[in-house]
């Protein structure tokens, strides 16, 4: 069974700092990786996807993938209080379309 591991946190960073969220996975064959953000009481929303080794940048967000080491990370630059949420790492599960989620890392950005 595919496993996705995340540090549950909470991770606290001051406003304006860089938040670094990490995720490791067990299946070397995984090809697609996703980061979702979930505010309390809300459903997850997709913020980044990455398929190739290296970095992928989108605004203040950068996803980093290292397939050899089986980890994927998410960097949030210039963190804002509105970034405070739980960030979920996900990758395709055993089936062809379902996703396996990590437990999520709770991020708190302190004003």
Partner 1 sequence: GAVVSQHPSRVICKSGTSVKIECRSLDFQATTMFWYRQFPKQSLMLMATSNEGSKATYEQGVEKDKFLINHASLTLSTLTVTSAHPEDSSFYICSAREVLGTEAFFGQGTRLTVV
- List contacts with partner 1 (CB under 8 A): 32, 34, 36, 41-46, 49, 51, 88, 90, 93, 95, 97-104
Q: DSSP character for 7? A: -
Taking CA 64 as the corner, what is the angle to CA 7 and CA 19, rounded to the nearest 5 degrees?
Answer: 50
Min dist. Cβ of residue 70 to partner 1 (A): 19
29 vs 95, which CB is nearer to partner 1? 95
Min dist. Cβ of residue 57 to partner 1 (A): 18
CA distances from 21 to 36, 61, 96, 97 (A): 12, 11, 26, 25
Take residue 110 and report the two structure tokens written for it: 């302190």
95 vs 111, which CB is nearer to partner 1? 95
């Amino acid at each position: 069974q595919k496993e996705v591991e995340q540090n549950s946190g909470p991770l606290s960073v001051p406003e304006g700092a860089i938040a670094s969220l990490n995720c490791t996975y067990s299946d070397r064959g995984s090809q697609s990786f996703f980061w979702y953000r979930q505010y309390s009481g809300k459903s997850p929303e997709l913020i980044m996807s990455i398929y190739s080794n290296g970095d992928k940048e989108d605004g203040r967000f950068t996803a980093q993938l290292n397939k050899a080491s089986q980890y994927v990370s998410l960097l949030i630059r210039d963190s804002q209080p509105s970034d405070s949420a739980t960030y979920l790492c996900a990758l395709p599960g055993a089936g062809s379309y379902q996703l396996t989620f990590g437990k999520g890392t709770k991020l708190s950005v302190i004003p």
